[in-house]
């Protein structure tokens, strides 16, 4: 199964990052979003990243221009009609993703793979709304995509071996290291990471230590590059809450119960870096 043309749905932080690494690897990329302003913002992020590479001597201006030229704008999902794979990076909401996959199933060519960048939602449930469940797979990139080397490749219940192998090979061509993961809530990365973040929030909630001191313990004591509460702000506290709820519901264990302080911050609109305030205040 050959991949030449890729559609990325969603030009946000994850989608634009995926589009950048695909274009850098030489693929033609159709970057889709609902509004021109969303696409423009995503392309601006890609341009900024590539300009930084040029400044640091990692790329030339010509290479930057070539990469940008490979990215085509799209404001309609109908543009999936001639692609080999779609990587969906829309909002982490099952109903929205199922709606997208239903449409893609009728538009994308019969050979096309439908991949999702979901960080926690079940692949099997997404595949069930299509007539090609064997061609549906998870492709969970880490944030920021151009920097982080890992991709979790998640098999749904019906995912074909050939589809898995194609996506694994694609990940390698994008300069990533892939791991094979089965379809369980949170997969591997978030099943381990989010409970740690949630426990750090409990430590603050219960008055064990301040936000800064919890982060310092994990940075200096455990050699983490950033503290769990800084990381939570970077991920988005709304996203953290959503993943914890999926873990709690999917696994039924009280150890995955979201901390009440996390719920309170999300209810207040304190989502972290993207909203200007979370556990820390941002300019």
Which residue in 119, 120, 178, 242 is the catalytic one? 119
**Model pLDDT for residues 74-133, shown as the tens digit of each residue:** 999 999 999 999 999 999 899 999 999 999 999 999 999 999 999 999 999 999 999 999
**Model pLDDT for residues 10-45, shown as the tens digit of each residue:** 999 999 999 999 999 999 999 999 999 999 999 999
140 is catalytic: yes
Distances in Å between the Cα of 246 and the Cα atoms of 69, 191, 232, 241 are 39, 10, 17, 9
* Spatial CB neighbours of 196, under 8 Å, sequence gap ≥ 6: 228
190 is catalytic: yes
pLDDT at 1 over 90: no
152 is catalytic: yes
Would you identify the CATH topology of the domain 5-182?
Answer: Rossmann fold (3.40.50)
Q: Mean of the pLDDT values across residues 261-266? A: 98
Which residue in 140, 178, 198, 242 is the catalytic one? 140
Backbone angles phi, psi at 261, to 5 degrees: -65, -35
Q: Say how far apart CA 89 and CA 239 lie, in whole Å.
A: 14
Residue spans per domain, the chain: 5-182, 190-274
Backbone angles phi, psi at 122, to 5 degrees: -70, 130
**Model pLDDT for residues 160-212, shown as the tens digit of each residue:** 999 999 999 999 999 999 999 999 999 999 999 999 999 999 999 999 999 99
Distances in Å between the Cα of 267 and the Cα atoms of 233, 271, 273, 277 are 15, 9, 16, 13
Would you identify the CATH topology of the domain 190-274?
Answer: 1.10.1040
Bind-site residues: 10-15, 33, 92, 97, 119, 143, 274
Bind-site residues for NAD(+): 10-15, 33, 92, 97, 119, 143, 274
Q: Say how far apart CA 273 and CA 276 lie, in whole Å.
A: 5
**Model pLDDT for residues 44-75, shown as the tens digit of each residue:** 999 999 999 999 999 999 999 999 999 999 99
Model pTM? Answer: 0.92
Which residue in 117, 178, 190, 198 is the catalytic one? 190
Write b or e for each residue in 113-127: b if 16 or more Cβ atoms lie within 10 A of its Cβ, otherwise e.
bbbbbbbbbbbbbbb
Q: How far is C-alpha 228 from the chain's CA centre?
A: 18
Q: Say how far apart CA 170 and CA 163 lie, in whole Å.
A: 10
* Spatial CB neighbours of 122, under 8 Å, sequence gap ≥ 6: 156, 183, 185, 250
Q: What is the pLDDT of residue 225?
A: 95
Q: Which helix (H) or strand (E) holds 115?
A: strand 113-116
Minimal CA–CA distance to 138: which of 188, 173, 196?
188
Q: What is the pLDDT of residue 22?
A: 98
Which residue in 120, 152, 178, 242 is the catalytic one? 152
Confidence tier at 283 by pLDDT (50, 70, 90): confident
Q: Evaluate whether 5-182 and 190-274 have a shared fold.
A: no
């Amino acid at each position: 199964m050959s991949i030449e043309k890729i559609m990325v749905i969603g030009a946000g932080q994850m989608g634009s990052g995926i589009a950048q690494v695909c274009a850098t690897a030489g693929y033609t990329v159709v970057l889709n979003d609902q509004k021109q302003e969303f696409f423009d913002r995503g392309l601006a992020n890609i341009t900024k990243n590539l300009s930084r590479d040029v400044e640091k001597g990692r790329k030339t201006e010509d290479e930057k221009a070539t990469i940008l030229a490979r990215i085509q704008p799209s404001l309609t999902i109908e543009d999936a009609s001639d692609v080999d794979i779609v990587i969906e990076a829309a909002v982490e909401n099952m109903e929205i993703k199922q709606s997208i996959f239903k449409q893609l199933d009728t538009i994308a060519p019969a050979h096309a793979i439908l991949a999702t960048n979901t960080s926690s939602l079940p692949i099997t449930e997404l595949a069930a709304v299509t007539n090609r469940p064997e061609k549906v797979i998870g492709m969970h990139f880490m944030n920021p995509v151009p920097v982080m080397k890992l991709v979790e490749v998640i098999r749904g219940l019906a995912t074909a071996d050939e589809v898995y192998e194609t996506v694994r090979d694609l990940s390698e061509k994008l300069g990533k290291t892939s791991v094979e993961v089965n379809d369980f809530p949170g997969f591997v990365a978030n099943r381990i990471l989010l409970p740690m973040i949630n426990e750090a929030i409990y430590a603050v909630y219960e008055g064990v230590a301040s936000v800064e001191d919890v982060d310092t313990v994990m940075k200096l004591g455990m050699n983490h590059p950033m503290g769990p509460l800084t990381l939570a702000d970077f991920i988005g506290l709304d996203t953290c809450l959503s993943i914890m709820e999926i873990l709690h519901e999917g696994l039924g264990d009280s150890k995955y119960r979201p901390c009440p302080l996390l719920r309170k911050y999300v209810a207040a609109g304190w989502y972290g870096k993207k909203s200007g305030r979370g556990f820390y205040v941002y300019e």
